[in-house]
Structure 1
């Protein structure tokens, strides 16, 4: 049964990728055909934030890549900008660290042309504190730190609104910013770069932290978060991404299949205990 399921899942991913690549790689697209000029005999270098993205890629490299005929190198970055600029410039062949709302905003602001290939996992955003033990203890006059990038700030404010910490103006959703707050309930907000938020926990009363940075800081989202995003219907799955035109690179297609394999699902489930959740399928 396991063998049958594995083959079926791989076939489904391959079919989904083929459909997505047909839509993305027409001859009229900018960059279409750039795969042909890539040396596919060389290792595929993938930019990734350390946890869980580089961890997952290194699992693939050590356990799955050689058997699949894939040469893979993992290059770690600790911010949310350089992986995309390195992918755009060709310094790396792909990246794995971001979700679609962030990429859409990045492409628009930076003029880059990066596209998603396949979804891999979801890291629920959470509210953490070293000074209070439950959400009800968060009171007027206290300070909450939130990510300062556009998409994650909106995501953080929605999390707070969904849990009754603040009230947002009608209709703003995940596009919220500080001016979208209808009632802050006496709280003060401090906007910080996402990677610095775990360190800020000593200086603020609470902070909304991205799942990967929470895990790196030895926080356990499923246990330690005062409030945590729900996985159902969540649009923030993290995916493998490439510069447009490189979607058909056979190394990219092979890596996409491996990242959606039964082995990777088991690795994520066993390693992260609900703090990272498999979220497979063709990215759109």
Structure 2
């Protein structure tokens, strides 16, 4: 399976490099999960390429001699305490990218970490989310540099709320009339004033946790007994404040505005019980004999 970013949907014309940024971050998510969560079955990433013509392939695809050298070079930086190289290495190929199609791609098995130019897996990209590239696709400036990372929850939340300021200023149809404008600005002002109440003070400096921001029913494969067997579509995975990780809203298959509270409460309890049981199982496996 091959995946392409759609330049006209990620704001490539307004902010060149968005498509490649999305590819690097999505590839980084696959690599991090492959290395740190091997028990979690996800599609295998065979390789990926960027619109610049740079190509990366898995070490397993190289000849034996190159593969052995690659494994050695991959371990050395980690032993020395530097950013460790991923299992994906630069691959030389013809100048044409897929017959002249100037866009990047991911090659996957059918089943805001990022990859640097040298194949290193690094944590040096903004937490790339769908909201960011949706805004940039509408030519709304987002004051979040591409190479910016966050060490505190406060600064991240403040920048997210600032997105709405930019939308009100730059989106032509952001406000329908005077009443709508007053309503939106009042809601934004209140949210800025109360945002600290939604986050714990003792967690303001972390941990920031890696989460799958696009996780929904169609991305989860189960067996006949409803055991989760595979997760697909890891785009928009990034590190966020731990308070932003919460049970899915779609447990009742209802939209957020139409959720039946009684039905959701029952399924939420069942979900959390299963989640806690899984945590206990993992703790037992990790405990020393």
TM-score (norm 1): 0.24
Please identify the structure whose Cα radius of gyration is greater.
2
Q: Counting strand residues as a fraction of each chain, which structure ranks higher?
A: 1
TM-score (norm 2): 0.23
* Larger RCO, structure (CA 8 Å, separation 6 or more): 1
